[in-house]
């Protein structure tokens, strides 16, 4: 396609704007997830991750149409013809995607750190229980030790 029609340009811009709105929602959600991880709000975090998955599915749906239009636009723009609104929207989209990815990486790191802390605590508790069970095995099983009535 040597020309990029006005209708294609309008539709691509519409799809890019929808994607920007969806990624803005994802950015807010990802910021909230950081708070939920810090507060150990596992159930709320799980619900938030489910909502995030729905946003990802929505973005993937937008991509089914926008990717084709964007490829056509890229072919058109290599000839030195650019559409400012599309360039601006695509630039904003790259920025917000990068921001979301950075926030997500930070959240993953925080979650991994929390997981390691819990693993260490569980191991300590397990070790303490083993110590207690070893102690219990060395105590004689005499009812008079526990029954003060005898």
Going from N- to C-terminal start, the domains of the chain cover: 6-109
Q: What pLDDT, on a 0 to 100 scale, did the predictor assign at position 24?
A: 97
Q: Quick check: 78 and 21 in contact, CB under 8 A?
A: no
Query: Residue 150: helix, strand or coil by DSSP?
Result: coil
- Cα–Cα distances in Å, from 22 out to 8, 29, 54, 93? 21, 11, 10, 10
The CATH architecture to which 6-109 belongs is Up-down Bundle (1.20)
| Cβ density class 22-45: b for 16+ within 10 Å, e for less | bbeebbebbebbbebbeeeeeeeb
Q: What is the pLDDT of residues 30-77, one digit of tens each?
A: 999 999 999 999 899 999 999 999 999 999 999 999 999 999 999 888
């Amino acid at each position: 396609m040597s020309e990029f029609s006005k209708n294609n340009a309008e539709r691509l811009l519409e799809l890019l704007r929808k994607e920007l709105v969806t990624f803005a929602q994802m950015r807010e959600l990802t910021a909230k997830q950081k708070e939920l991880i810090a507060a150990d709000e596992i159930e709320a975090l799980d619900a938030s991750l489910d909502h995030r998955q729905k946003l990802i599915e929505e973005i993937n749906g937008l991509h089914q149409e926008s990717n084709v239009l964007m490829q056509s636009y890229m072919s058109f723009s290599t000839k030195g013809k650019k559409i400012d609104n599309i360039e601006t929207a695509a630039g904003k989209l790259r920025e917000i995607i990068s921001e979301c990815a950075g926030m997500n990486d930070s959240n993953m790191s925080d979650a991994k750190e929390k997981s390691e802390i819990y693993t260490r605590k569980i191991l300590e508790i397990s070790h303490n229980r083993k110590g207690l069970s070893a102690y219990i095995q060395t105590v004689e099983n005499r009812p008079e030790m526990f029954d003060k009535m005898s």
